[in-house]
Amino acid sequence: MGEWQGEVRRDDALVERVSAFTDDDLASLCEAVSAAIIEGGNFGWAQPPERAALEAYFRGLLLVPERSLFLARADGVVVGSAQLLRPSRNNQAQAFSATLKQLFIAPYARRRGLARMLADRVEERARAIGCQVMNLELREGQGEAVAFFESIGYRRWGEHPAYARVNGRTLRGFYYYKPLQPGGVVA
Ligand SMILES: CC(C)(COP(=O)(O)OP(=O)(O)OC[C@H]1O[C@@H](n2cnc3c(N)ncnc32)[C@H](O)[C@@H]1OP(=O)(O)O)[C@@H](O)C(=O)NCCC(=O)NCCS
- Return the CATH number at 61: 3.40.630.30
Which atom, in ligand 1's list, is nearest to the CA of 102?
48
Q: What is the mean pLDDT of residues 127-131?
A: 95
In a domain, 55, yes or no: yes
Tell me if residue 53 falls in helix, strand or coil. Answer: helix
Residue 10: per-residue pLDDT: 75
Name the pTM for this structure.
Answer: 0.93
**Distance, CA of 172 to CA of 149 (rounded, Å):** 17
How would you class 116 by CB atoms within 10 Å of its CB: exposed for 0-12, middle for 13-18, buried for 19 or more?
Answer: middle
Express each pLDDT in 36-81 by its tens digit: 999 886 667 878 899 999 999 999 999 999 999 999 999 999 999 9
Closest by CA to 125, choosing from 155, 92, 99, 94, is 99
In a domain, 74, yes or no: yes
Q: Which residues lie with the beta carbon below 6 Å from any ligand 1 atom?
A: 36, 41, 43, 102-105, 110-116, 142, 144-145, 147-148, 151
Domains in the chain, number: 1
Q: Which residues constitute the domain of residue 32?
A: 7-184
In a domain, 97, yes or no: yes
Q: Whose CA is nearest to atom 23 of ligand 1?
A: 144
In a domain, 149, yes or no: yes
Tell me if residue 41 falls in helix, strand or coil. Answer: coil
In a domain, 1, yes or no: no
In a domain, 159, yes or no: yes
Beta-sheet pairing, 97-105 with 133-139: parallel
pLDDT at 1 over 50: no
CA of 92 to the centre of ligand 1 (A): 33
Residue 40: per-residue pLDDT: 80
In a domain, 2, yes or no: no
CA of 149 to the centre of ligand 1 (A): 8
In a domain, 79, yes or no: yes
- Host H or E run for residue 52: helix 51-61
